[in-house]
Structure formats: C-alpha cells, structure tokens
Amino acid sequence: MVARRKKNLFCTLLACALFLASLPAAAQYLYYQPDGTGIPQGGNLQGYLSAQGESLDAIQDASLVPETFYPALQLTFTLIAEGAGFENIFGWYNVGDDVTLSQNRHPVLFSSYDNGSSDPCDGVNAEPIPPETTCNKRTVVLCLDSVANPDWKGGPIGFFLVSPEGISGSQAHNDVAPDYGYIYYSEPRLNILEQNMADPYIHHLVYQSTLDPTAFYFGFEDLFRGGDNDFEDMLIKVEGLLVSAPLETCNNTDDDCDGLIDENVTEPCSTACGDGVRICNAGSFGACSAPQPQAESCNGNDDDCDGLVDEDLVQACSNQCGSGVEFCVDGSWYGCTAPQQGPESCDNIDNDCDGDTDEDLNRPCSTACGSGFEICQNGSWVDCTAPLAGPEVCDNIDNDCDADTDENLVLACSTACGSGQRTCAAGAWSDCSAQQPSPERCDDLDNDCDGMTDEPWPEKGTPCEIWQGGCSTYGVYICNDDHNGLTCSGQVNPLPEVCDGAPLTKRIPTSACPAATAARAKTRPATSYRASARRAPSSASTETWSAWARSNRPQRNATGWTTIATAWSTTDSPTSN
C-alpha cells in the first residue's frame, strides 16, 4: 500500500492563539539545517507545546540531547500532534542492540489513520494505523513486582520514528510495510541512510517538560533531508524518563528492576561519636552505624566521644619490686609507679629487688693521706680504707698528712750533765742535746758531771810561788790554757827591794832584809807548817811542789787562807837555786 500525504493540516484555535501570543519578534535559532534553515520553522510546534501548559520556547529551549534515557518502572507515551500525511510509527529500543534487526525495535504509537481492524491499536490490518481517538496514549510497564518486561534489558533506551517515505529493495525498514520507509533515531549515529554524517540533517528536537522533569517531548521531521522543518510531523510526549540511572529508594520496591529490593540504599546519620549510615531493609532504615558512646578504654580511641582519648584511665600494676599504678596514653599503658628494678645503690633500698639491701657496694675513697675503698652500710658509705691522719710519730712517714715528715717531734732527755732534747729526722731520733759527761778538763766546768769541778786538780786555787831567777812571787794555781793542768797565776816583776815592812811580794835573800824577816816571824801563827813538821820539798821542781801543795793545802779559817808568809818559817822556804 502506498502511503498518502495528509491533505488537510489544521491548527486548533487554542494552539494558534497560544502560538501567536508567544511568537517572538525576531527568533534567534540555536540549531540550523545543513542548508542554513533555522529550526523549528513556523509556529505550530510552539502552539502544541503551549497547549500542554508548558512554558517552553520552541526555539530557545530546543535541544538535541539527551539522546538516550533511563526508564522508570513504566513509561507513558502520548501522541500530542501529527502534522504530516505519512503514517509514521514511534517506538523505543535498548541502547546497544542491533537496531537494524526489527526484533530489537519496539513500536508503541502508530499513525492516526485506520482501515479497520478488530484491535485498532495493534497496528495489524490497519491502513496502516488505528485512529487517534483511541490509540494516541499508551503505557508500557517495564517492571512490575521486580519482574522486568522481557523486551527491556534493564539499561538505557533510545527512541525512533519510522517514516513510510517510499524507498525500494532491501533498504525498506517500515515495520508495517517493510518494503518502504526511513528510520530516524534519537541517536543520530544510527541514521545509517544519512548521506553526510559530518553535517547530518536534523530529524528530531527534544524538550524537557517544565511541569514534570521526567517528561520529554520529541518533535520529528519525517521527510528525508528536507521538508517544512516545523518538527510537528509527529510530536510525542514520553513520561517516566530519567536522565541518569534510576536510584533505588527505601520503599520496599525494586525501583531499578534488578530483582533486588532496597539494595545499597543508605542514608547518612551521626552520633556524638561521629558519622555513619543507616541501611534500608524492607522499606525502613535500620540503626545508625556511627559509633555509640562507650565507657572509655585504653585503645587509642575516644570511646565516650567527649573529644578526649584514653583520658583518666588508671590501673594497678606491679613488678618484682612492688606495686603501683600505670596510666593509659594513646592506647598503651605507661608509667607504672611501682619501684623499678635497677642497679643497687647506696640508699638503704633494695634497688635490684633481690631481697638484699645495699649489698656488694664499694667505691673508691680518699683522705688527705691517700686512697682506699669504702663500703655501703644502711644507706651510708663507711669504713674507708684510705690512711687516716694521726699524730706524727718518728717513722719517716707523714702520719698527719700535711706533706711534712717527722716534723716538730721532740723528746726530753737528760744525762748526768743535765737536761736536753732529742729530735726526729728521717725516722730516727737524734742524740740527746744535753751535755754528755766527758773527761774532766781544767776549765771551771764539771765536765764529767759528777758534781765537782776540776777535781783532778785539787791544788787549783791554792797558793803557789813563781820563781824567776832569784826572785819569786806568790799566786794561786789556775787552769792552764790547754785546760789539762794548772799554772800559777802570779808574774815575777823584779823591783828594787826595799826594807819597808810591807808584805813580801817576792822572795829575796833573808840576809837582804833582816828587819822584815824578823817582823814576819813575829806574825806567824802558833800553828805553822813547821810546827806540824810539814816541810816543803827542797826541790824547785814544779811537779814536786804541786804534789807537796796538795798534801799541805792551806786551811781555811774565819779570815781566809793562812798565807804562806805566816805558815812558813824562814828555814821552811825552798832553797833558791
């Protein structure tokens, strides 16, 4: 059957009125055909859109996208207008299918002309399409009770229009009359009969409803690469379209018709401890997964959700040295206050916790006298073995540790001669400083310290006579210059003798001074050496005289020594040589 062009185009009064009211003074097109024609032309499309209550601008709101959509669980198709004489078909396909195969194209709406059939909306025995009054609106259920329509593969879909514009042979693609027609897809890449893919002819425009975001209008131009460009040859509204994949919601329904209900549906939630989610199950959200405040424990977490971690956590602890407490820091226990085992130290504490206190402790020590070691006892260092300072003793050692040895050491001592002292040097005592007895010398000293002086010379101090020539003088015996004997202290100084009765100072011949001799004789004491028969030796020898003098020592009386002059008689004197 040859398709026939609709002869009478009409515009409803309402649509025309709305179009005229909304027609812009100077339209600025968004899209142009390859020949430069701006689209859409005319006012019919604007009138139809406005008649639906849409605040759409047919020119400024025109779009070529989306090309594909995700369907809701059901779609509603409505034929809004048909301004062409071709008996067109509108349907959908699964994106990705081979649309050159008729079984992959799913017709929904048909043209409004019918030759009569038992089911005017099934496209069978039509001429070629059932009337508009019955078939201009159809609903396609894609998923019911989680059971998908067998034609839908669960993914995005696209739309197509089949025009019966005549072509011949194998390129006819009309479902009703397969021997003629063009197919125009919402994905222009599939328009395989397009002659210039680099600058393709536009066959459809897309408008999103301003009343229902899931509703879209599709306006088609059905003549191949040319026509009046009014895009109302077939205007269809499809409700239930999503730009992105449908989201499962918590409603106990399989919204995405994948056989699962409320899968992966969550909502955010929070507690004092943080954020979490609530998971939908059978149309209801469960408990929040955010942590709930708990009693604080030593785990590095803020269990009670007060902004502090492991605060105020203390527990008992112990070791071999005793008990204490420890504190939680960043999830670990630290700082046990129990005594810690350590090296033993001198503090009267069992530092190494072996049951003994201050054991086996010693250390070097020193005094001014040297070095040694000391031991710990009851927390104190005692018993230093270093030498201690002591009184200095005579041992060639610095006993008092003052860097001097045997200093200022003195011992009293004595001899028969008197007292003295001994001093220490190089560890030895010196001889006593007291005078030591020595052989007696004639020096007026008690050299042998026997209480007597010059006792070997008893005649010391006794009268003596010194002769010189014919003269002599009297003196006393004194120590000689060598201190080993006596010498007479007198000196002979011969003078002219005068007979003056003065005491004799020298011996002179008796005959020279008879008067004096007589005078001296008169003064002799009653007791004389003569009377005692003690005669002086006749020898002039000093040694002989000294011996005689010792045995005839003058006697002390109340007035002193008896002088030789009174003790001797004239005849007693030694004979001068």
Has residue 253 been placed in a domain? no
How far is the C-alpha of 204 from the C-alpha of 386, rounded, in Å?
A: 118
Question: Is residue 31 within 8 Å of 65, Cβ to Cβ?
Answer: no
Has residue 33 been placed in a domain? no
Residue that terminates a domain, selected from 242, 263, 281: 242
Task: Print the domain residue range for 510.
Answer: 463-572
pLDDT at 215: 97
Has residue 451 been placed in a domain? no
Ranges of residues in the chain with a pLDDT under 50 are 1-26, 113-118, 120, 122-133, 168-179, 505-546, 548-549, 553-577
Has residue 1 been placed in a domain? no
Residue 290 structure tokens: 């955010």
Question: Is residue 565 within 8 Å of 516, Cβ to Cβ?
Answer: no
How far is the C-alpha of 445 from the C-alpha of 453, rounded, in Å?
A: 5
Residue 268, preceding peptide bond in cis (omega within 30° of 0): no
Q: Identify the helix (H) or strand (E) that includes residue 521.
A: helix 514-523
Nearest residue to 227 (alpha-carbon basis) of 44, 489, 19: 44
As beta bridge partners, residue 163 has: 182
Q: What is the pLDDT of residues 300-334, one digit of tens each?
A: 988 899 989 988 999 999 988 889 999 999 999 99
Over the range 446-482, which residues count as b (16 or more CB within 10 Å of their CB) and which as e? bbbbeeebbeebbbbebbbbbbeeebbbbbebbbeee
Has residue 412 been placed in a domain? no
Has residue 262 been placed in a domain? no
Nearest residue to 532 (alpha-carbon basis) of 555, 561, 512: 555
As beta bridge partners, residue 147 has: 144
Nearest residue to 52 (alpha-carbon basis) of 205, 215, 220, 161: 215
pLDDT at 10: 36
> What is the domain count for the chain?
2
Question: Is residue 95 within 8 Å of 157, Cβ to Cβ?
Answer: yes
- Please report how the helices 13-22 and 44-51 are oriented relative to each other, as an axis angle in degrees rounded to 10: 110
Question: Is residue 43 within 8 Å of 231, Cβ to Cβ?
Answer: no
Residue that terminates a domain, selected from 212, 242, 272: 242
Phi/psi zone of residue 14: left (φ > 0), alpha (ψ -120 to 50 degrees), beta? alpha
Nearest residue to 490 (alpha-carbon basis) of 458, 457, 525, 465: 465
Has residue 173 been placed in a domain? yes
Residue that terminates a domain, selected from 194, 212, 242: 242
pLDDT at 37: 95
